[in-house]
Chain A
Amino acid sequence: MADLRNDFVGIKSPNPFWLASAPPTDKAYNVERAFKAGWGGVVWKTLGSEGPPVVNVNGPRYGAIWGADRRLLGFNNIELITDRPLQINLQEMKQVKMNWPDRALVASIMVPCVEEEWKAILPLVEETGADGIELNFGCPHGMSERGMGSAVGQVPEYIEMVVRWCKQYTRMPVITKLTPNITDIRNPARAAKRGGTDAVSLINTINSITSVDLDNFAPVPSVGGKGSHGGYCGPAVKPIALNMVSEIARDPETQGLPISGIGGVTTWRDAAEFLVLGAGNVQVCTAAMTYGFKIVQEMISGLSDWMDEKGHQNLDDICGRAVPNVTDWKYLNLNYVAKAHIDQDACIKCGRCHIACEDTSHQAITSMVNGVRHFEVMEDECVGCNLCVNVCPVENCITMVGLEPGTLDQRTGKIVDPTYANWTTHPNNPMAQVAAE
């Protein structure tokens, strides 16, 4: 059995699956259930300043997009931070941490960008015995209108400033949660690092309108006929999150900064992808809100079984393993040539590859050969774009096969060059760095 124990900035948990700060972690009742189900840790639903708590709308808070069989693909919310009194949350956190000393319990915090506010709340949180804090600089709705959440996460200077305060006023590890609603994720990550953060977590949700009620011309979720943009999450956002995690993992300035990966983690495989792209653990919300806490059992066994199969002993063996393979486009090998290949035994003859290629790409797949319905790649037209692989409904029916160096590329009429050559030295590149002759 692979060892799934996780040590994230000194916070220990029996597995790398944490519940993200969100409705599932709003109170002791839910968190107790989560720990019973097997979750390694939780980030408690974001705490605000002492005093009257925030209020939520009393109409719909969530919107979604679905596949045709109502499988939930994307989800959004306009819920704010916890609407329960701070003291109740703190008491419950303390009790839960005492009940579950082996699980990670991190407090998410969002208070105004005023030093005194942070200075005031940090000791209260520290007193609960929480393992760390997460600074919510991510939520894009509601609180951002009040200068908090993503309004902070979009200004690197503010991030750096607040992180610095937190490092100054608490001994607890600081995790800075980043918003993806920004052009280059590296800037806020660098700012957090400059401020002294112990880790970053990302992504928070993405600004979104999930759909529009066409009868009433109102965005969804609609509160009495009006809607507001909410935070988008769930399976649909995973690719965006994976990229942002990898950007931070491979940026020279932030390399080595621990990352808690968040964004559409639904299965063990999603989690493994975050881990190998540089995340030290993952946080999950939408999958739990869709299926309940039990899904963590699939995640734990799936990750463990995959690691066993591949001979990985522990999380250190896999974390960051894919990071060296993420590079800039300009360094991709232009001498690598691949062609699509259709397995005729697996082909069900739906013709999707043909029509996609014919209508929208390179006219490189037949539909009829000798009067018979037959789909085959014409290598002299195939540019190896992978579109056919992506539209084929049968897994592994179409594969991309790299041409061996020394063989003929029928499309270009050139022999495949065994050497590596990228755009930086390509003759078509006016900025090419050509060695002086």
Chain B
Amino acid sequence: MHRLGSGIAGGRLAPAEYERNFSDLHPRFDRHEALVASDRCYFCHDAPCMTACPTAIDIPLFIRQISTANPLGAARTIFAQNILGGMCARVCPTETLCEEACVRNTAEDRPVDIGRLQRYATDIAMEQGRQFFQRAAETGKVVAVVGAGPAGLSCAHRLAMNGHSVVIFDAREKAGGLNEYGIATYKAPDDFAQKEVDYLLAIGGIEIRTGMALGRDFSLQDLIADYDAVFLGLGLAGVNALGLEGEDLAGVDDAVDFIAFLRQAHNKADVPIGRRVVVLGGGMTAIDAAIQAKLLGAEEVTICYRRGKEHMNASEYEQDLAASKGVTIRHWLAPKRVLGKDGEVAGIELEYTALRDGHLVGTGETGVIAADQIFKAIGQSFKASGLGALAMERGRIVVDEHCRSSMERVYAGGDCVNRGEDLTVSAVAHGRDAADAIHLAFASAGQPAVAVA
């Protein structure tokens, strides 16, 4: 009898299985489903869902528009607050935002399907190429935006709408940021992120320069000198390391790189995956990596998290989704050492943990999980250079409620700032609010001082 095989390889599944596994997680509602789902909305006064939405979309209004067979009107309502409403409808953890706040939960434990209704309306508008916002007359102002992710794109669109010109710089090859590189494949199939970028750019006045990295190709000081204002939507480029023995072994990878590689792979069979995969971490990245490892044909996928279920950053819904795909989630296990054989990963040694007096401690009891691939998903950090004397706090850029940084004419938003949760929808809100603040600053600068006061 042979030992079960090991190793990292692609092509573990039949082509049809890849197709099925990486197709749309939640297909779009059809018209009838949308009407039935929209009928469940109570059109609440001062609706809790709207308060819970970081971009404050008028949810009761857009759902009512859907219910009256006006999906384009619904899309206009959504895009007015959130121009990336299409992606947010796909990736927002609605179960901890709008849908958690839905009053239907109180009566019957099931919220209105806000996310899927939002997708219904935005998909229709985008497929028809319907643009709801026109560019105001050119103001002559030019704003530099660094980062073509959700924050930068949202900021650029709002600025363009107000007649300003925008140049977006991004270090990567494609625009979209995490929407393009960081989202699980089955959440945004059919190249949706690029379609959304195109839809957004159609307003005009926005130029994107890819392959341009801050600190390498230009500095913040350069931008301040050349542009009327600067928005930094940099994201989190750094990935936290384990700092453990064996971390350098072949087969130990960053989950974010795996997710990005998979997203960019035209043929999912080209993406190699281990038979036994361990994912370290408790957030959305860990879940996305684990689920997709399973969908690529890994036989055993185990998430190891050093705290309890209730401490996981991944929502309950995401945890359940992982479980439904066959991922095992183990709690109270901290990695001690990566075990190797012939320069490759063979397993991971873990120690049981516990909370004592509010502190996480190892119990001393250890064990080994056999693995031929390990993904690290224990957090990302802000890593940037070329920012000069910009004020930072706990590793992030300091901003006020208008996304103004410590430097004159420099604004920032998204994951790189010390404000809000690290979510796509929060980044969109920051970008939009920063654009409004920039627009206001331009306007007041053009006014006599008396009028401003």
Contact = CB atoms under 8 A, between A and B. Distances in A.
Interface of A: 67-70, 348-352, 354-355, 367, 373, 393-394
B304 to A, nearest CB: 39
A393 B48 CA distance: 16
A373 B38 CA distance: 24
B369 to A, nearest CB: 45
Interface in B100-120: 103-104, 106-107
Contact of A348 (B38, B45, B106): B106
Given A348-B103, A394-B107, A67 B39 contact: yes
B103 A367 contact: no
B35 interface: yes
Given A68-B67, A69-B35, A367 B107 contact: no
Contacts of B47: 351
A17 to B, nearest CB: 30
A70 B48 CA distance: 28
Nearest to A67: B39
A70 B69 CA distance: 13
Contacts, number: 40
Given A68-B67, A394-B107, A350 B45 contact: yes
B46 interface: yes
Interface in B31-60: 32, 35-36, 38-39, 42-48
Contact of A352 (B35, B38, B44, B48): B44
Interface residues of B, number: 17
B293 to A, nearest CB: 40
Chain B CB within 10 Å — which of A67, A70, A348 has the most?
A: A348
A355 B45 CA distance: 6
Contacts of B48: 349, 373
A352 B36 contact: no
Nearest to B32: A70
25 contacts: A68-B36, A68-B39, A68-B67, A69-B39, A70-B32, A70-B35, A348-B103, A348-B104, A348-B106, A348-B107, A349-B44, A349-B103, A350-B44, A350-B45, A350-B103, A351-B45, A351-B47, A352-B43, A352-B44, A355-B45, A367-B46, A373-B46, A393-B42, A393-B107, A394-B107
Contacts of B46: 351, 367, 373
A68 B35 contact: yes
The 9 closest A-B pairs by CB, nearest first: A351-B45, A68-B39, A355-B45, A348-B106, A348-B103, A350-B44, A350-B42, A350-B103, A69-B36
Given A68-B67, A394-B107, A351 B39 contact: no
A354 B39 contact: no
Contacts of B107: 348, 393-394
A78 B354 CA distance: 76
A393 B106 CA distance: 12
Contact of B106 (A69, A349, A354, A355): A349
A8 B281 CA distance: 77
A307 to B, nearest CB: 31
Contacts of B43: 352
A68 B45 contact: no
A67 B32 CA distance: 12
B41 to A, nearest CB: 10
Contacts of A69: 35-36, 39
A351 B44 contact: yes
Nearest to B35: A68
Contacts of A349: 44, 48, 103, 106
Chain B CB within 10 Å — which of A67, A68, A352, A394 has the most?
A: A68
Chain A CB within 10 Å — which of B39, B43, B47, B107 has the most?
A: B107
